[in-house]
Amino acid sequence: MYQQHQFSCPIITGWGAVSVLGEKILELGKRRPLVVCDKGIVEAGITEKVGTVLREAGLEFTVYDGVKPDPSAEIVDEAVEAGLAFGCDCVIGLGGGSSMDTAKASTVRLSGYEGLTKDYVLAVPLKLETSVPVILVPTTTGTGSEVTRVAVISRPEFNVKWSVHLKNTTLAIVDPQLTVTLPRKETANTGLDALAHATEALTSKGADIYSDLFAVAAIEKIADNLFRSWSDPEDNEARTNMAVAANWAGLAFDCPMCHLPHAIGDAFGCHFHTEHGHSCSLGLAEGMRLVAPVRSEKMAVIAKAMGIPLTGNETGTELGDLVADWIYALMRRMEFVSLHSMGISREEVVACAKDVSVNHLASYCPVTVTEEIAAEVLGRLYDNYQ
């Protein structure tokens, strides 16, 4: 039996790495990028910083800053129209996962696919060949979207989040310096999302030797640096390590995919409009507790990477409890907001069970996620984190 792991793109990383963006676009033979971001990135001065780099390289560019959290297909179409009006020949995704997903999805129509974006964002993801280069520059330390081929887009008319899989990303530039303005709340949300990526990849049905390698390394860095970066935003070493960890976690899950916690995250995002990282993190502890008995060896690896002392005699169930308790403890230290404190009832949470069970990500879980199992997990996460 053999395994195949497809890495998505070249990666440039390091403090100040965004300074090479212009020259890399020129190396691609392109001169008119569309910059896709949200207004928060503009207000933080990051768009202007990137604009300076592009201007110094002699590039003309236009900015679409209408990205919103959990972007809809209509937002992607707005970005496409901005790119078409400008005559763009490449796309830069600048920001968090929403901006990078919008940038990736925009290349479908920009590559000549007819119709609207909604025609290509479906419950069972299409795999499309795109020709327009996309360069992804994250400003958070969690999404990993810069090294994945999936673009997750909301379809509010169905109250779901679906996706499209694209040709490999052209280039990722991971510059930790761009994350220093990230507020504490987003540092926690995106950092825990990275932890979810890594732990889900490690326990996914599709895990392989390469995804395991990146997942374990990511968990170790997150365990050592997430709370540090949250408690001291000026800890540049911790910021740098978290940027690398988020990138590694993205590499980890790109092939095996995430599973139950992210299926839960999709449901929460649609029903309660919680941020993606926040939504996925809420299901992480109970997701690990569920799969621990059938992934006991992997759960021991996760526990060790987190720095949890082990005797070596723990059962899978015991390992799941240890890992879940560690995750909840970290969430509390970072003042992570519970659904209960947001005024969301237990009944509303459990009512998401059907959406969780039918989400395509649930199929990658090593435990078959029926609606009944989803309801049990949702009830436990509500009860155990208030």
Where residue 311 falls among pLDDT bands split at 50, 70, 90?
Answer: very high
Cβ neighbours of 10 (radius 10 Å)? 13
Looking at residue 44, its pLDDT comes to: 94
CATH class of 11-179: alpha beta
List, for residues 271-295, the tens digit of each pLDDT value.
Answer: 999 988 999 999 999 999 999 999 9
List, for residues 125-167, the tens digit of each pLDDT value.
Answer: 899 999 999 999 999 998 899 999 899 999 999 988 899 999 7
In this chain, the answer to whether the domains covering 11-179 and 184-384 adopt an identical fold is no
Q: What would the mean pLDDT of 193-211 be, rounded to a whole number? A: 96
Looking at residue 315, its pLDDT comes to: 98
Contact present, 166 and 113 (Cβ < 8 Å): no
Domain-wise residue ranges, the chain: 11-179, 184-384
Q: Which residue has the tokens 């479908």?
A: 108
Mean pLDDT of all residues belonging to the chain: 95
Q: How far apart are CA 152 and CA 93, in angstroms?
A: 14
* DSSP track, 122-156: BSS--EE---S-EEEEE-SSS--GGG-SEEEEEET
pTM: 0.92
Where residue 1 falls among pLDDT bands split at 50, 70, 90?
Answer: low
Q: Provide the CATH number for the domain formed by 184-384 in this structure.
A: 1.20.1090.10
Length of the chain: 386
